């Protein structure tokens, strides 16, 4: 289950208007929607905020992956409902429902970001935001090696199981002890890999004194500006509602009686 | 020894990855007790997926795998690993202990042995593999070739009836390959069944009686190695190349030198050439 | 002028008692295809690390003597400056692909060196044709096969236009057909670009017919560097525990071998030529 869930954050090459947007615009999108969701605790405004995300999912042709990420959270949802309903005496169920919508909104926003931003461009956008090249590069390098390490982890599990290693063990101490046969090879392998990668980087003039050129560039297009403008309008309107500069009718604050 | 007794039966298995890639499609295979078999073919042909179904690391999407007459689906990986030992390509994926002795002990701990039996088995394997002097050494200080040898020891000491190897000769030099051969022949004599995935054509041609060729998740050919690996069409389909001795034999025939058809191995070829040259030089 | 010059060079890694390389004297010339041979642990990889300054700059240890690349000392010249003279393709392509797609990968080294985008574009076009990866430009490293990864790794080094290209077991993880393809490709590159190529490799059957010279290592020492015919007819080659080509062992096993020929046949074609004299 857990790995499936992570897949909904992995960049997917597709052609759509959302994919074409500048990564910085999409980062802004994820942040604005996080703020939007955090501003409210009532069900109705949260539903509105959540619904306004759906067009972006459809435009980005991401429905399938998005559903998967939401399904992956089912366990967390149940957990939230039980805990809140049990421990919050005052409309606990209503509150937990709001929390679920809030989390779903934030996860959806970031899932759109990661699903549509090419990790290559991510590094470039960090650099354009004045992050030093070395940092931006290490960030993209980490991304690059996630699948490699996942495959290595699977191979380690397979190798150990083939010599009688048992995954499930009873008791917390045994469980911790049981991690060593997996973690030690993984850590040692990763250290070795780090050396190999560093060696390969050195050999390809990484850290050269010369001024680095950039073969690829990213550009904030007219569509990006329109998108940015739209996001800011939504944000400002919601802030006004929150500060009650715009007064909403009573149903806006409606909650479930439980 | 009970010859011709089926020990592994693979019955029309498919394996489809969660992302819908087909790794195995309608694969059927019968392996008898005491056989030595090579599985060959292009990377991505499904070879390692196939061997992973043997001890339950991968459960087929359709079809069944039977080991010793029992269906794998009813057994856990741990249960199956007592019968089938798989040695994967990279030994560094399994070494983790402080010492070589500990490493072997780990392999033996889930089997029903007494402390004395375990110690005896360890001593035994250490001497067989010439590791006695390294007993307390860290496995991480071993060279690549020695680490591979240790990985082999960690499975051999469990004494499984079926041994499965993934690229056992990769990165090994001539001396290490000779040692590996000695070990597997010794196991064969004890009645063990051995399956290995390999790219090493010359090795397979010289040492392994039966070869299975795979391509695109299917079995392309299954038969005596001398027939399978000398079939130009099959070899091409499986992204292999013809064994050198066979290439040489074909060339000799083209020149007009009549090499008997049953010559496949290095030793036979050497004695053929020896005789041929003797006659030729004498007639000159 | 020789490309590489080792002068009594010795090196031991930090924390190791034994010398990984022992008193190496070696001069490598331009425009040749060289095979680097030796048993596992004989110092092949360490020798390769010296060829672009990784030893002694990246790997800590103790050294004696000197190594010069195109007249520059590897002790004082930064590795990045040497990267335009010597390119290394390491054993595992997985660990040297650092970008998220092939085009970024190939551009990476050139960007580091500050080469202009226009020149980068030109060179990418040329190198992808040479290494036959035109169709892969937009792919991520985890979407391509092992053989394709290796070709991308070669392209990303070759694009810096080194005079010497070194490959550490480039086909170890490949199936025989693609191994052959890569090796033939390397030979073609060596000939068209008139550079030197050094390969360390177990698959001698494939390589012997193509290489010019062989470097032989044993226990950290250089025990031979000469034309392949000279090396393979030497006693020291015979004694080493390396996987020798089938044709070699076949002819070496003959009863009166040396009375029939003064030079061992090294490939199937060679061997057949020997027999043609009788018919």
Model confidence at A169: pLDDT above 90: no
Structure confidence at residue C233 as a pLDDT band (50, 70, 90) = very high
Chain C CB contacts of B239 below 8 Å: 175-178
Whole-angstrom Cα distance, residue A256 to residue A122?
A: 42
Nearest Cα residue to A201 out of A126, A136, A122, A141 = A141
Identify the closest residue of chain B to A168 by CA–CA distance: B78
pLDDT of residue B1: 44
pLDDT above 90 covers a percentage of chain A that reads 48
Average pLDDT over residues C196-203: 92
A176-195 residues touching B, CB cutoff 8 A? 180-181, 184-185, 188-189, 192
Nearest Cα residue to B92 out of C12, A70, C241, C92 = C92
Whole-angstrom Cα distance, residue B161 to residue C58?
A: 47
The answer to whether the CB atoms of C100 and A198 lie below 8 A apart is no
Looking at the complex, report in whole angstroms how far the Cα of residue B131 sits from the nearest Cα belonging to chain C: 18
pLDDT of residue A14: 82
Q: Of the ranges A50-54, A67-71, B235-239, C71-75, which one carries the lowest mean pLDDT score?
A: A67-71
The half-sphere exposure of A159 on its side-chain side, counting CA atoms within 13 A, is 27
CATH 3.40.50.150 fits B1-75+198-240, yes or no: no
Strand partners, B65: B10
Compare CB distances from A163 to B52, B90, B158 and report the shortest one's residue.
B158
Q: Does B192 touch chain A if contact means CB atoms closer than 8 Å?
A: no
pLDDT of residue B152: 96
* B and C: number of Cβ contacts within 8 A: 104
Distance in angstroms between the alpha carbons of the first and the last residue of chain C: 46
pLDDT of residue C142: 85
Q: How far is CA B43 from CA A112, B20, B246, in A?
A: 35, 18, 23
Strand partners, B224: B210
* Chain segment A81-125, per-residue pLDDT in tens: 888 888 877 778 888 889 999 999 999 999 999 889 887 888 888
What stretches of C114-218 adopt beta strand conformation (E)? Answer: 164-168, 196-200, 213-218
Report pTM: 0.88
* Chain segment A129-166, per-residue pLDDT in tens: 889 998 999 988 988 898 899 999 999 999 999 998 98
The answer to whether the CB atoms of C112 and A209 lie below 8 A apart is no
- Please tell me whether residue C62 adopts helix, strand or coil conformation: strand
Structure confidence at residue A258 as a pLDDT band (50, 70, 90) = low
Per-domain boundaries in chain A: 1-117+220-258, 118-206
Mean pLDDT of successive 10-residue stretches along chain B, which has 284 residues: 78 91 95 97 93 96 96 95 96 94 92 92 94 91 90 95 96 92 97 96 96 96 97 94 95 93 94 89 76
pLDDT of residue A95: 86
The chains in contact with chain A, meaning 3 or more Cβ pairs closer than 8 Å, are: B, C
| Dihedral of the alpha carbons of C154, C158, C163, C168, in degrees to the nearest 10 | -10
Chain C CB contacts of A198 below 8 Å: 58
Looking at the complex, report in whole angstroms how far the Cα of residue A201 sits from the nearest Cα belonging to chain B: 24
Q: Are strands B22-32 and B6-16 parallel, antiparallel or unpaired?
A: antiparallel
Q: What is the token pair recorded at A72?
A: 């992956």
What stretches of chain C adopt beta strand conformation (E)? Answer: 4-13, 21-28, 33-38, 61-69, 72-73, 86-89, 164-168, 196-200, 213-218, 221-227
Do residues C241 and C39 touch, judged by C-beta distance below 8 A? yes
pLDDT of residue B109: 86
Model confidence at A68: pLDDT above 60: yes
Please enumerate in sequence order all residues whose Cβ is within 8 A of that of A90, keeping only pairs 6 or more positions apart, or say none.
Answer: none
- Interface residue of A1, A162, A193 to substitute, partner B, most B CBs within 10 Å: A162
The answer to whether the CB atoms of B252 and C172 lie below 8 A apart is no
The chains in contact with chain B, meaning 3 or more Cβ pairs closer than 8 Å, are: A, C
Whole-angstrom Cα distance, residue C84 to residue C18?
A: 32
Mean pLDDT score of chain C, rounded to an integer?
A: 92
Q: What is the token pair recorded at A62?
A: 């991401």
Mean pLDDT score of chain A, rounded to an integer?
A: 88
The answer to whether the CB atoms of B273 and C241 lie below 8 A apart is no
Compare CB distances from B94 to A159, A180, A192 and report the shortest one's residue.
A159
* Chain segment B186-196, per-residue pLDDT in tens: 999 999 999 99
Model confidence at A1: pLDDT above 60: no
- Evaluate the CA torsion angle B56, B60, B61, B62 in order and state its sign: negative
pLDDT of residue A2: 41
CA C261 to chain centre: 30
Q: Of the ranges A45-49, A61-65, C119-123, which one carries the lowest mean pLDDT score?
A: A61-65
Per-domain boundaries in chain B: 1-75+198-240, 243-284
């Amino acid at each position: 289950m857990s790995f499936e869930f992570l897949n909904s954050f992995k960049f997917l090459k597709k052609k759509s208007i959302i994919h074409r947007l500048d990564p910085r615009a999409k980062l802004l999108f994820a942040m604005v929607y996080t703020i939007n969701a955090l501003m409210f605790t009532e069900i109705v405004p949260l539903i509105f905020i959540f619904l306004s995300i759906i067009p972006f999912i459809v435009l980005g042709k991401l429905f399938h992956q998005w559903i998967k990420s939401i399904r992956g959270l089912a366990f967390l949802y149940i957990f939230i409902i039980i805990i809140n309903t049990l421990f919050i005496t005052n409309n606990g169920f209503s509150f937990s429902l709001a929390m679920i919508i809030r989390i779903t909104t934030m996860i959806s926003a970031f899932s759109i970001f990661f699903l549509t931003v090419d990790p290559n461009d991510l590094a470039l956008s960090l650099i354009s935001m004045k992050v030093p090249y070395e940092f931006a590069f290490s960030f993209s390098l980490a991304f690059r090696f996630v699948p490699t390490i996942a495959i290595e982890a699977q191979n380690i599990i397979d190798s150990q199981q083939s010599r009688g290693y048992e995954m499930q063990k009873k008791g917390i101490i045994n469980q911790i002890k049981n991690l060593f046969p997996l973690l030690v090879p993984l850590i040692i392998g990763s250290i070795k890999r780090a050396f190999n990668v560093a060696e390969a980087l050195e050999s390809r003039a990484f850290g050269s004194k010369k001024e680095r050129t950039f073969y690829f560039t990213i550009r904030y297009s007219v569509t990006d500006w329109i998108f940015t403008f739209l996001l800011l309008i939504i944000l400002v309107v919601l802030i006004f509602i929150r500060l009650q500069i715009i007064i909403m009718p009573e149903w806006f604050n409606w909650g479930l009686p439980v | 020894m009970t010859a011709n007794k089926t020990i592994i039966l693979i019955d029309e298995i498919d394996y489809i990855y969660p992302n819908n890639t087909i790794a195995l499609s309608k694969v059927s295979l019968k392996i008898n007790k005491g056989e030595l078999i090579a599985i060959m073919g292009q990377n991505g042909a499904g070879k390692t997926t196939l061997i992973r179904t043997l001890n339950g690391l991968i459960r087929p999407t359709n079809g069944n795998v039977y080991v010793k007459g029992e269906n794998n689906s009813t057994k856990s990986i741990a249960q199956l690993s007592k019968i089938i030992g798989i040695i994967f390509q990279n030994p560094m994926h399994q070494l983790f202990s402080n010492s070589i002795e500990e490493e072997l002990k780990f392999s033996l701990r889930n089997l029903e042995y007494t402390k004395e039996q375990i110690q005896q088995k360890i001593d035994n394997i250490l001497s067989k593999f010439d590791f006695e002097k390294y007993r307390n050494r860290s496995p991480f200080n071993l060279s690549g070739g020695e680490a591979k040898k240790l990985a082999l020891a960690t499975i051999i000491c469990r004494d499984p009836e079926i041994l499965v190897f993934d690229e056992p000769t990769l990165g090994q030099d001539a001396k290490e390959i000779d040692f590996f051969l000695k070990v597997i022949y010794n196991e064969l004599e004890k009645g063990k069944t051995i399956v290995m995935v390999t790219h090493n054509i010359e090795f397979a041609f010289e040492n392994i009686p039966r070869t299975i060729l795979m391509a695109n998740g299917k079995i392309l050919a299954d038969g005596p190695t001398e027939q399978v690996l000398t079939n130009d069409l099959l070899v091409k389909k499986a992204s292999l190349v013809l064994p050198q001795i066979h290439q040489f034999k074909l060339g000799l025939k083209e020149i007009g030198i009549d090499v008997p058809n049953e010559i496949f191995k290095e030793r036979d070829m050497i004695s053929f050439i020896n005789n041929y040259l003797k006659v030729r030089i004498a007639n000159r | 002028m020789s490309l590489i010059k080792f002068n009594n060079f010795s090196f031991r890694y930090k924390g190791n008692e034994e010398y990984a390389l022992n008193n190496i004297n070696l001069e490598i010339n331009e425009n040749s295809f060289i095979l680097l041979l030796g048993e596992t642990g004989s110092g092949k990889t360490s020798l390769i690390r010296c060829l672009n300054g990784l030893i002694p700059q990246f790997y800590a240890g103790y050294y004696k003597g000197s190594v010069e690349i195109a007249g520059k000392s590897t002790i004082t010249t930064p590795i990045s400056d040497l990267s335009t003279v010597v390119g290394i393709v390491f054993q595992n392509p997985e660990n040297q692909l650092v970008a998220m797609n092939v085009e970024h990968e190939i551009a990476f080294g050139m960007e580091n060196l500050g080469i202009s985008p226009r020149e980068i574009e030109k060179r990418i076009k040329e190198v992808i044709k040479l290494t036959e990866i035109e169709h892969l430009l937009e792919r991520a490293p985890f979407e391509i096969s092992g053989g394709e990864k290796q070709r991308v790794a070669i392209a990303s080094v070759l694009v810096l236009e080194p005079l010497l290209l070194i490959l550490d077991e480039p086909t170890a993880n490949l199936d025989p057909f693609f191994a052959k393809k890569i090796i033939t490709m390397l030979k073609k590159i060596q000939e068209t670009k008139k550079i030197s190529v050094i390969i360390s490799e177990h698959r001698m059957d494939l390589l012997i017919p193509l290489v010019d010279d062989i470097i032989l290592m044993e226990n950290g020492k250089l025990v031979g560097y000469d034309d392949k015919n000279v090396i393979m007819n030497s006693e020291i080659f015979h004694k080493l525990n390396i996987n020798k080509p089938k044709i070699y062992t076949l002819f070496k096993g003959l009863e009166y071998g040396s009375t029939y020929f003064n030079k061992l046949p090294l490939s199937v074609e060679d061997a057949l030529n020997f027999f043609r004299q009788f018919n």
